[in-house]
Structures are given as C-alpha cells and as structure tokens.
Amino acid sequence: MTRAPQPLFPYSVKINMATGTYAALPITLLTPKQVEELQVEFKKIVQDAGVRGARISVQRLAVDDYDKVLHEAKACVRKAMPKAA
C-alpha cells in the first residue's frame, strides 16, 4: 500500500534569541508534519546548547502574504543598499 503524498504549504520561519538577534529564513515549503518535527528539533538544539529564551516562529502563509513578504524583502534590500555619494 502506497502513501498519498503530503501536501506542501508555504511557511515563514523566524528564530528569535533572547539577546535580540534573530534569523528569518526564506519562505519554506513544508508539510504540517515537518513543521511539528522542526519545532521539536529546534527545542532539542536549544536545550543541548544550554541557550535560554530562544524561540522559533513558524507561520503558514496565505497566498496574499506572499506578495507582502516580497514587498518587505524589497524594502529591506533597498535599506541595505549603499547610499550614492
């Protein structure tokens, strides 16, 4: 008996550290089961490292969120571009 493939959904993943630093990963396609596993693995990594106050935020994106994410990415890149002298 073969398993039906799990559907993939776009997710936004952000890791926040207690120090105020964070990492925002690009839009990622995951199954709901992978999201659960990602959160469990993250907790293990944090515990093994002895880090406190770290959080992972995994949010499923709606279709309209995709355009918002692209807009925010463009704005971020524009801010990071060197200013013309």
pLDDT at position 66? 72
Question: How many angstroms separate the Cα of 63 from the Cα of each of 31, 48, 55, 69, 84?
Answer: 16, 36, 25, 10, 36
pLDDT in tens, 49-84: 998 899 999 999 876 777 777 788 888 888 887 776
Q: What is the CATH number of domain 9-80?
A: 3.30.1710
pTM: 0.63
